[in-house]
Amino acid sequence: MSKYEAVIGLEVHVELKTKTKIFCGCPTEFGAEPNTNVCPICLGLPGSTGVLNKKVVEYAIKAGLALNCEIAGYNKFDRKNYYYPDLPKGFQVSQYDYPIAFNGYLDIEVNGETKRIGIERLHIEEDPGKLVHLGETITVAQGSLIDYNRSGMPLVEIVTKPVIHSGEEARVYLEKLKQTLEYTGVSDVKMEQGSLRCDANVSVRPVGSEKLGTKTEIKNLNSFRAVQRAIEYEIARQIDVLEDGEKVIPETRTWDENKGITLSMRNKENPDYRCFTEADLPPLDVSREWVEELRNSLPELPDARKKRLIEVDGLPEYDATVITSTKALADFYDRTVEKYKDAKTVSNWIMGEFSRLLNANNLEVSETKVTPDGLAKLLGLIENGTISGKIAKQVFEEMFSTGDDPAEIVKKKGLVQISDQGQLEGIIAEVIANNPKSVEDYKNGKEKAIGFLVGQVMKATRGKANPGMVNKLLKEKLDQI
């Protein structure tokens, strides 16, 4: 057992999925040609002023509510002053002393235990532009280009309390945060597109100590795995420093993914941002009615949904966890169950075939052609014996790529199950006649040989034979021999 305890706080920036930017009408689409989605306002040209996008406030409140926060009635905006080439006004509009949401939490599960991660605050701010360095890394870059498409994109910054104690907890919290925000629909929360960005504040202290150790801030964390690895590395590094009798330097460090280490970026000399009220934006009052309206508009969130799937639908916990991992998947499940009541069967299909095909084709739920209605119909066809489960998988693949009705596919391809006893008996007799060796094996007690014979019947019927009947009839015939 280590004699040190790590204390970690995460600062997460989440880009809100509004159609337009925070203070102007420029579109927020991802991946546009550099410097095309810009105007005098988001370029901070002399004389420009802006007007707050109401959707940004709405989304921030929704995010706050989903994270169990209190929502501030009185809101004001502040300027955070600093110089950087990507910051067109020389200040960033943010919320300094009155965040729109505060005092929330998310429950996470680590090693089978539930842990509550306190959320200090969630506030609205604008994104600066994006620097593109001409070189391998920032330190050896020969020059930089600036893309202001990102300037003025709406963000919320979500800051945890310093209550995380391991890299794993940090990763699980982030996954939960991503999942929860994905449910609310306020953000794409895609780390690879930069719509979710995380910085980690890490310190260590002797177990039992109340006082926080000196912290470092880690940046350039480009995946959840990187967050966990970087924190684990940094904890070990800081413990080594302390064990050597030295002091941890308060600084910003960057994660080097390839080398798997953190590197010193710059000393943290406590910049004075001279925050003060943004006079171009009047204070904003958020009414209780609006908050309640937005609270009521929130979808069922992951924890509640998982609970319902277990308690009402009777799904095993594992199934419920997988199904609720994204809202899209959970919605697909719920809408299928509305039409086909056997929840476990629906769950099996969604976790099995559906997820397999999504992964194989690298698609999102929303991008597929198959519908919950279609899946329910397919399961109905299995249940009423029209097709076998095996054929159903074949039909489902077809549905996945074409979106066609399963009954149509079955009809068109002639996949209706053969359940006619006379027809099956004829085929079985033929198979028995053509495979004397297997029949003999079976008679000699090799039970497994029947499997081969069933396979031959299936082959002869191109999989359409009713497998239950084939088993039964084949056994009867063999026992008669």
Partner 1 sequence: MDLHKLTIHELRELLANKEISVLELTEDVFKRIDDVEDKVKSFLTLTKEQALARAKDIDEKLAKGEKLGALAGIPVGIKDNICTEGVRTTCASKMLANFTPPYNATVMKKLESADAIMVGKTNMDEFAMGSSTENSAFFPTRNPWNLDRVPGGSSGGSAASVASDEVIFALGSDTGGSIRQPAAFCGVVGLKPTYGTVSRYGLIAFASSLDQIGPFTKDVTDCALVMNVITGHDDFDSTSVPMDHPDYTKFLINDIKGMRIGIPKEYFGEGIDPGVEAKIKEAIAKLEELGAIAEECSLPHTEYAMPAYYIIAPAEASSNLARYDGVRYGLRVEAEDVLTMFNRSRAQGFGTEVKRRIMLGTYALSSGYYDAYYLKALKVRNLVKQDFDRAFEKFDCLLTPIAPSVAFEFRSKADPLSMYKQDVCTIPINLAGLPALSLPYGLVDGMPVGLQLIGKPFDEGTLLRVAYTLEQNTDETRLKPVLGGSGR
Residue of 12, 42, 52, 337 interacting with partner 1 (CB under 8 A): 52
**Phi, psi for residue 132 in degrees, rounded to 5:** -115, 115
Nearer to partner 1, 50 or 302 (CB): 50
Residue of 4, 30, 32, 43 interacting with partner 1 (CB under 8 A): 43
Least separation in angstroms between residue 274's CB and partner 1 is 4
Residue of 30, 32, 48, 373 interacting with partner 1 (CB under 8 A): 48
Check residue 218 and give left, alpha or beta (phi > 0: left; psi -120 to 50: alpha).
beta
Residue of 15, 16, 22, 50 interacting with partner 1 (CB under 8 A): 50
Nearer to partner 1, 277 or 421 (CB): 277
Q: In the beta sheet, which residues pair with residue 109?
A: 114
Q: How far apart are CA 200 and CA 223, in angstroms?
A: 13
Look at the alpha carbons of 22, 26, 30, 33 in this order and tell me if their dihedral is positive or negative.
negative
Q: How far apart are CA 167 and CA 382, in angstroms?
A: 46
Nearer to partner 1, 250 or 299 (CB): 250
Residue of 2, 36, 49, 264 interacting with partner 1 (CB under 8 A): 49
* Angle between helix 421-434 and helix 436-443 axes, rounded to 10 deg: 90
Nearer to partner 1, 87 or 106 (CB): 87
Least separation in angstroms between residue 257's CB and partner 1 is 26
Applying the rule CB under 8 A, the residues between 220 and 279 that interact with partner 1 are 272, 274, 276, 279
Give the three-class secondary structure for 437: helix
Nearer to partner 1, 79 or 464 (CB): 79
List of residues 6+ apart from 61 with CB closer than 8 A: 71, 100, 101, 286, 290, 291, 294
Nearer to partner 1, 2 or 277 (CB): 277
Taking residues 131 to 160 in sequence order and writing x for each that binds partner 1 by CB under 8 A, - otherwise, the string is: ---------------x--------------
Residue of 2, 51, 207, 390 interacting with partner 1 (CB under 8 A): 51
Check residue 216 and give left, alpha or beta (phi > 0: left; psi -120 to 50: alpha).
beta
Least separation in angstroms between residue 128's CB and partner 1 is 12
Give the three-class secondary structure for 443: helix
Least separation in angstroms between residue 403's CB and partner 1 is 43
Determine if 45 is a binding residue for partner 1 (CB under 8 A). yes
Nearer to partner 1, 77 or 332 (CB): 77
Least separation in angstroms between residue 14's CB and partner 1 is 24
| 214, 252 Cβ separation under 8 angstroms | no
Nearer to partner 1, 83 or 447 (CB): 83
List of residues 6+ apart from 165 with CB closer than 8 A: 5, 6, 7, 8
Q: How far apart are CA 138 and CA 86, in angstroms?
A: 14
**Phi, psi for residue 73 in degrees, rounded to 5:** -75, -45
Q: What one-letter code names the amino acid at 163?
A: V
Helix (H) / strand (E) element for 179: namely: helix 167-184
Using the rule CB under 8 A, give the single segment among 35-43, 133-141, 390-398, 406-414 that binds partner 1: 35-43
> 385 is written with which tokens?
């014996």
Q: How far apart are CA 466 and CA 315, in angstroms?
A: 28
Q: In the beta sheet, which residues pair with residue 463?
A: none
> 208 is written with which tokens?
């039992």
Taking residues 279 to 298 in sequence order and writing x for each that binds partner 1 by CB under 8 A, - otherwise, the string is: xxxx----------------
Sequential DSSP letters for 214-264: --EEEEEE-SHHHHHHHHHHHHHHHHHHHHTT-----EEEEEETTTTEEEE
Q: How many chain residues interact with partner 1 (CB under 8 A)?
A: 28
Taking residues 71 to 100 in sequence order and writing x for each that binds partner 1 by CB under 8 A, - otherwise, the string is: --------x-x-x-x--xxxx---------
Determine if 435 is a binding residue for partner 1 (CB under 8 A). no
Q: How far apart are CA 457 and CA 480, in angstroms?
A: 18
Using the rule CB under 8 A, give the single segment among 36-44, 341-349, 452-460, 462-470 that binds partner 1: 36-44
Least separation in angstroms between residue 189's CB and partner 1 is 29
Nearer to partner 1, 85 or 389 (CB): 85
Residues forming the site for partner 1 (CB under 8 A): 40-41, 43-52, 79, 81, 83, 85, 88-91, 146, 272, 274, 276, 279-282
